[in-house]
Structure 1
Amino acid sequence: MEKIFVLDTNVLLHDPMALYAFKEHKIVIPMTVLEELDTIKDRKDKDVSREARIAINAIDAVLSDASPKAIQEGVDIVDAKGGSVTGCLAIFPDQLISHDNEAPYLDGSPQQANDNRIINVALHLQTHNDGKYVCLVTKDINMRLKAKGSGLENVEDYRKDRVIEDIELMSKGYETLEGDFWDRVETVKSVQKGKATMHVIDRAILPEAYPQMFVCDDGDFVGLVREVDNDSIHIQQLSRDRLMSQQLWGLTPRNIEQAMAFFLVQCDDIDMTALTGPAGSGKTLIALAYGLHAIMEEKRYDKLIVARNTPPIAEDIGFLPGTEEEKMAPWLAAFEDNLEVLHGHDESPYGSIDYIKERANIQFKSLNFMRGRSFNNAYIIIDECQGLTQFQLKSIITRVGVNSKIVVLGNLAQIDNKYITPVTSGLTYLVEKSKDFEHAGIMHVSGIERSRLAEFAEENL
């Protein structure tokens, strides 16, 4: 059956290259969507405006040489990599829709929401394309409800960005086995590589294993998967006691998840670490402690860059005065709090914090101003990533230069983007796509160590 997909504006903002995600089918973009993209491309929000411009350029790349008639009927979408046709793209002039026919149109007057006019395009195509599958694709839940209530038979969320169907299936960076690990192993080959003891076992024992995944049992065994091939797994044996006795900038782990996170951020061959977990689990504190240790004691990096996304609501209170660091202060207060934790017992805590910020060359950045830059010899912490799309996170990760390490932090229970859910978050996408990369590590820190009240609130409120 031929399928016709009508795309909402938020789909193109979420994934500007969504045109190439529908394979051999027809994509219809209502004129109202182009008008919305035109308005959004000039917004002060640099993230959204940039994605709008990329989406417009992608549409223009397909339609630029076509005639007006061909644009309305459909122009082939050619895959730039393989040169094959992956479907066709058409623009629908929804301003010409008449209300005097059989389609159950919503009010499409200029006084009504643009959503109604986009829904009307799908209703029109459904009425005039018998036997074809016509579907509206939008990330707006209320718009999906309105479309179904208006009689549109097929309405979907944009699912290409979903790497898992249930957030419970997201990789945690470790696997806990019941009983004794060695009871599962029939044959093993152990070799010594430097100071590390490596065990080569049958892959069938851990079929879901991936590089840098920890393996624990109910006893004292802790191992780290270093290599995975078709038939075997190479596991580095670790000491649980040594993991728990690690120390970074005066900080020691309080549970095994924190201990494993300590180990990951210190690995020389890991360029990116993604730490997920609830509020109060110690993600930020661990990332910051290693950054100070690596810069001040090991002299491994030249600077520590701390960045997070400023929410759109920030524009409503106007422009804050001062430098970029001073403007970012309200949203990076969590790092100031963690610096106080690390130096709270000093004789002069605030003097120590100011000294550390200067000597460690700590720079506070907004993600809105990181595009196009390259960070070399830097340790980078990106906080509150759960509200970013996969496209936004990709544009940040590609900024990491030579001799640099990046730590990505996020709590999927605190998403404040209305178009993003835990399964469609860029953080979830990053975790699932990077887990097989040998130079990336992931860890879900589940224990809440902030306070007993914080633990109660996270679990019960």
Structure 2
Amino acid sequence: MNASKASRLYILDTNVLLHDPKCLYEFKEQDITIPMTVLEELDDIKDRKKHVSQEARHAIRSIDDILSTATNPEQITKGVRILLPGKDRDEKLGRLSIFPDHELTTRAGFLPDERNKDNKIINCALHLQATFPHRQVVLVTKDINMRLKAMGAGLKRVEDYRTDQLVSDVELLPTGYTCLETPFWEQVEHVESFQRDGKTYHKVSRALLPNTWMNEYLYDSTQDFAARTVAIDETSVTLLDLGYQHLMDQCCWGISPINIQQAFAMQSMLDQDLDLSIFLGSAGSGKTLIALACALEMVIEQGQYNKIIVTRSTPPVAEDIGFLPGTEEEKMTPWMSAISDNLEAMHEQDERPQSSVKYALEKANLQFKSLNFIRGRSIQKAVVLIDESQNLTPQQLKTIITRCGKGTKIICMGNLAQIDSNYLTPLTSGLTYIVERFRDFEGSASVHFEGVFRSRLAEYAEEHL
């Protein structure tokens, strides 16, 4: 590796490249090196039927795009100038190199067990730290245990990759609603009320609600006022009057809201002006039940949509699905039991529950789809339910959302406390990502569900375990 003007040298772990395949362009004028072990891991992952295989292929292509300008192998070892793709290609960044860490031998100061890939990457960083004492060598990894091992082994700088992290704490995510401590109408000095398309709107001063955002739900303790912010400008905020009691009286497919958060969720689904609804909440808070009830109401009773498409992360995605018998939908059945359970719960009081469930499935044209088969489609006039979306990467959620054509509504549901992916945390989950990214979009609303209504056992477990 040749001398460089860059003061830092970043060594990237595999999970960083999987988390953000475009990360190579995020280190500005500083240099980057990728150990050979990382390339081997990417090569292993790209051919597996895992939910990060696409990200692995994307990362490999990004590395190839940069290194393709090299004229000989020595240049790749020394470092190739990183050029931004597209229009900004003239802006030069640092250099990217591949480090042949397989040539390193175990020596004093190195971690033992060369078969452990994490140890190989840490040893690579330790070697470079000793080789370039004048430079700041930084290992970047999203693996907490690997960061601890690296520091324990004597590496001076170890960092998490936070460039694309939109919030520093999940607690800072918007709940989607605000309870006003003072009764709303007692605070209002001047209001301009008007009606449009049978709905009542109130235009009030921006100073009254300085921190509100698009499609935030508002209510007060009087249980009289409830509204949604539908327009914001420099001087005023326009609210859609919803009526607290009217929200609580909603009923879809025999299901009514238990609390105001479920009522807000129902309103967001039934409102034709909203294309995306995001439901977060603990297990048993009613996310799937509310979403499914509203979807059945809109498809069967109101005829606003032609079908319901249900999909979810199936960790490991498609690794086992091919070995299950039957069609795509039959293969997906084990992972879609949450939908089946909720359908059965809705009809348990019917004279013939199984017949009612079968009728709902057929009449609503309810389809279970694997994420692998969503790509490339254009979904029209459908309600798309994405369950367990906390296990999806930002890129995977983007893939699904961009499939939705005109007249399609999408609902993302998830619980950030139940992430199954080895490559995601609550802060880097695609669910967190879209809550923040769509915060100012006029066609989306998010609601954080409160309470656990599945059973008193589930409620106690949620609080105490």
Question: Relative to structure 1, is the Cα distance of residues 314 and 439 closer, same or farther in structure 2, using a 3 angstrom cutoff?
Answer: closer
Residue 203 (structure 1) shift: 2.4
C-alpha separation between the residues in 2 aligned to 1:214 and 1:378?
Answer: 25
The aligned counterpart of 1:92 is 99
Q: Work out whether residues 178 and 219 of structure 2, in 8 Å CA contact, stay in contact via their aligned partners in 1.
A: yes
Q: Work out whether residues 108 and 120 of structure 1, in 8 Å CA contact, stay in contact via their aligned partners in 2.
A: no
C-alpha separation between the residues in 1 aligned to 2:259 and 2:375?
Answer: 37
Residue 141 (structure 1) shift: 1.6
Residue 314 (structure 1) shift: 8.0
Match of 2:191 among 188, 191, 198: 188
Question: Relative to structure 1, is the Cα distance of residues 181 and 23 closer, same or farther in structure 2, using a 3 angstrom cutoff?
Answer: farther
The aligned counterpart of 2:135 is 132
Question: Relative to structure 1, is the Cα distance of residues 223 and 95 closer, same or farther in structure 2, using a 3 angstrom cutoff?
Answer: same
C-alpha separation between the residues in 1 aligned to 2:258 and 2:106?
Answer: 66
Q: Residue 82 of structure 1: SS of its match in structure 2?
A: helix
Please tell me whether residue 346 in structure 1 is matched to residue 350 in structure 2: yes
Residue 50 (structure 1) shift: 1.5
Match of 1:163 among 151, 163, 166: 166
Please tell me whether residue 203 in structure 1 is matched to residue 206 in structure 2: yes
The aligned counterpart of 2:22 is 17
C-alpha separation between the residues in 2 aligned to 1:69 and 1:154?
Answer: 27
The aligned counterpart of 2:235 is 231
Residue 362 (structure 1) shift: 0.8
One-letter code aligned to 1:233: V
Q: Residue 166 of structure 2: SS of its match in structure 1?
A: coil
Residue 98 (structure 1) shift: 4.7
Offset from partner CA, 1:207-262 (integer Å, 9 cap, x none): 33211101112222211000122332111122101000011111111110011111
TM-score, L = length of structure 2: 0.93
Offset from partner CA, 1:363-401 (integer Å, 9 cap, x none): 111213322222122111010011222122112211212
Q: Work out whether residues 49 and 317 of structure 2, in 8 Å CA contact, stay in contact via their aligned partners in 1.
A: no
Match of 2:121 among 110, 118, 121: 118
Bigger mean CA deviation after superposition, 143-152 or 310-319: 310-319
Question: Relative to structure 1, is the Cα distance of residues 231 and 97 closer, same or farther in structure 2, using a 3 angstrom cutoff?
Answer: farther
Question: Relative to structure 1, is the Cα distance of residues 421 and 368 closer, same or farther in structure 2, using a 3 angstrom cutoff?
Answer: same
Q: Work out whether residues 318 and 372 of structure 2, in 8 Å CA contact, stay in contact via their aligned partners in 1.
A: no
Residue 82 (structure 1) shift: 2.6
Match of 2:375 among 371, 377, 399: 371
C-alpha separation between the residues in 2 aligned to 1:371 and 1:318?
Answer: 17
1:59-458 equivalences in 2 (<5 Å): 59-67=63-71, 68-80=73-85, 81-83=87-89, 84-99=91-106, 104-107=109-112, 109=114, 112-219=115-222, 220-312=224-316, 315=319, 319-458=323-462
Q: Work out whether residues 219 and 244 of structure 2, in 8 Å CA contact, stay in contact via their aligned partners in 1.
A: no
One-letter code aligned to 1:164: V
C-alpha separation between the residues in 1 aligned to 2:160 and 2:42?
Answer: 19
C-alpha separation between the residues in 2 aligned to 1:309 and 1:48?
Answer: 11
Offset from partner CA, 1:252-287 (integer Å, 9 cap, x none): 111100111110001111111110101111110111
Question: Relative to structure 1, is the Cα distance of residues 315 and 269 closer, same or farther in structure 2, using a 3 angstrom cutoff?
Answer: same
TM-score, L = length of structure 1: 0.94
Offset from partner CA, 1:25-49 (integer Å, 9 cap, x none): 212111111111112111122x322
Offset from partner CA, 1:172-219 (integer Å, 9 cap, x none): 110112122234444433333332222222323333321110111222
Q: Work out whether residues 77 and 85 of structure 1, in 8 Å CA contact, stay in contact via their aligned partners in 2.
A: yes
Bigger mean CA deviation after superposition, 186-195 or 409-418: 186-195
Residue 63 (structure 1) shift: 1.1
Q: Residue 98 of structure 2: SS of its match in structure 1?
A: strand
Residue 170 (structure 1) shift: 0.6
**What's the C-alpha RMSD, in Å, of the aligned pairs?**
1.9
Bigger mean CA deviation after superposition, 91-100 or 417-426: 91-100
Residue 315 (structure 1) shift: 4.3
C-alpha separation between the residues in 2 aligned to 1:133 and 1:270?
Answer: 49
Offset from partner CA, 1:424-456 (integer Å, 9 cap, x none): 211011101111111111111112222222211
Residue 421 (structure 1) shift: 1.9
C-alpha separation between the residues in 2 aligned to 1:193 and 1:26?
Answer: 58
C-alpha separation between the residues in 2 aligned to 1:60 and 1:73?
Answer: 16
Q: Residue 91 of structure 1: SS of its match in structure 2?
A: strand
Percent identity reads: 53
Please tell me whether residue 7 in structure 1 is matched to residue 7 in structure 2: no
